[in-house]
Structure 1
Amino acid sequence: MSTYRTATHKKKLMAAGATVDNIIIERFHGKIPDREEYQRLKTQFLKPGDTLVIYDLEALGGKRSAKNELEYYKAHNIHVKIVDIPTTAIDYLDNPEISNMILDTIISTLDYVIDHEIERTHKKQTQGVDRIRDKPAWNNYGRPQVQLPTNYEEVMQRWTRGEITAAAAMGLTGLSRTTFYRLAHQYKNGGLQV
Structure 2
Amino acid sequence: MKIGYIRVSDKRQNPDRQIEKMLDIGIEERFIFVDRQSGKDFARPAYQSMKQVLREGDLLYLDALDRLGRNYDGIIDEWKELTRSLGVDIVVLEQESLFDSRRFREMGELGKLMEDQFLSLLSYVAEQERNKIRTRQREGINIAQRKGVRFGRPRVEMTEEFQEVVKRWRKGEVTAKEAMRICKMKPSTFYRRVEELKGEA
Partner of 1:56: 63
Give the 5 Å matches for 1:1-194: 1-3=2-4, 5-6=20-21, 9-10=24-25, 23-25=27-29, 42-47=50-55, 50=57, 52-54=59-61, 56-57=63-64, 63=66, 66-67=69-70, 70=75, 73-74=78-79, 76-78=81-83, 79-85=89-95, 86-89=97-100, 91-93=103-105, 94-95=108-109, 96-130=112-146, 133=147, 141-142=149-150, 143-148=154-159, 149=162, 150-155=164-169, 158=172, 164=175, 166-171=176-181, 173-177=182-186, 180-185=187-192, 187=194, 192-193=199-200
Partner of 1:16: none
Counterpart code for 2:70: K
Counterpart code for 2:183: G
Contact 1:54 1:81 in 2 (8 A): yes
Taking structure 2 as the reference length, what is the TM-score of the superposition?
0.54
What SS does structure 2 have at the residue aligned with 1:67? coil
**Cα distance, 1:113–1:89 mapped onto 2, change above 3 Å:** same
The sequence identity of aligned pairs, in percent, is 8
Structure 1: stretches of 5+ with no match in the other structure: 11-19
Counterpart code for 1:111: E
Query: CA-atom RMSD, angstroms?
Result: 4.4
Contact 1:5 1:25 in 2 (8 A): no
Contact 2:62 2:90 in 1 (8 A): no
Structure 2: stretches of 5+ with no match in the other structure: 5-18, 38-45, 84-88
> What is the deviation of 1:116?
0.2
Counterpart CA distance in 2 for 1:156 and 1:52 is 70
Q: Summarize deviations over 1:134-153 as a string: whole Å, max 9, x none.
A: xxxx5xx5445422412224
Q: Summarize deviations over 1:115-172 as a string: whole Å, max 9, x none.
A: 1012113223433444xx4xxxx5xx5445422412224425759xxx94x533312x
Counterpart CA distance in 2 for 1:50 and 1:191 is 72
